[in-house]
Amino acid sequence: MEAFYEGNIPECKKIAMFLHALGDEGYEIYTSFNMKKKDRKRLKCIMDRFDEHFTLKVQAATRLCHPDDIRVSETYAEVKLQSLMDHTVTRLCKAQEEVIKAVNNLKTINIIVKWGCDGAEQNYYKQKLYCRPIKFVFAKETRDLIKGEV
C-alpha cells in the first residue's frame, strides 16, 4: 500500500498541511475538490497518515454545518424551523464576523426571513433570496396532507 501512494506523498502532504492549517474551512475546500472518488480516497489516506485527527476534524466541521434538531425516518426528514433559523443566523454571523466587527456602533442586526410552501409558481429563476427546506415527506400528495402541512 505504501508503494501505491509513494508518488503522491509530497503533493498530497502539502494539501493535507494546508487543509489542517485552515481548520473548519479545510472541510469546505476538501469537499469542493473536483476529484473522482478514487482520488478523494487517496488524498484521505495521505491525510490520515499525516494527521490521525484529520477525520475527526472533518466530522466536527461537518456537524457544525447542520442544525441540531434534524429528524429522519424512512419516509421523511425534517428540522424545527426555529432550530434552522438559529443555525442559519449563527453560521451567517460567523462567516461575516470580520464585516460585523468592522461596523462601528452596531447594536442590533435585523434578519428578514420569508416563510412559504413548495414554490408551485415555478418562478425559481426570478428568486433573489436563498431558500432552505425544513421538511421532506415521501407521501402521496393529498388535500389533507397539504392542509396538515400549511
Enclosing H/E stretch for 141: none
Count of CB atoms situated within 10 Å of the CB of 106: 10
pTM over 0.75: no
Strands across the sheet containing 76-79? 70-72, 76-79, 135-137
Whether residue 42 contacts residue 8, with contact meaning beta carbons closer than 8 Å, is answered with yes
The dihedrals phi and psi of 67, each to the nearest 5 degrees, come to: -65, 160
The pLDDT of 109-119, averaged and rounded, is 70
Count of other CB atoms within 10 angstroms of residue 8? 15
What is the Cα–Cα distance from 77 to 52, expressed in whole angstroms? 33
pLDDT of 2 strictly over 70: no
If you average pLDDT over residues 115-122, what whole number do you get? 58
- Report the alpha-carbon distance of residue 73 to residue 56 in Å, rounded: 26
How do residues 16-60 score in pLDDT, each as one tens digit? 666 666 666 666 666 666 667 777 777 777 666 666 666 677 777
pLDDT at 132: 64
In angstroms, the CA 78 to CA 71 distance is 5
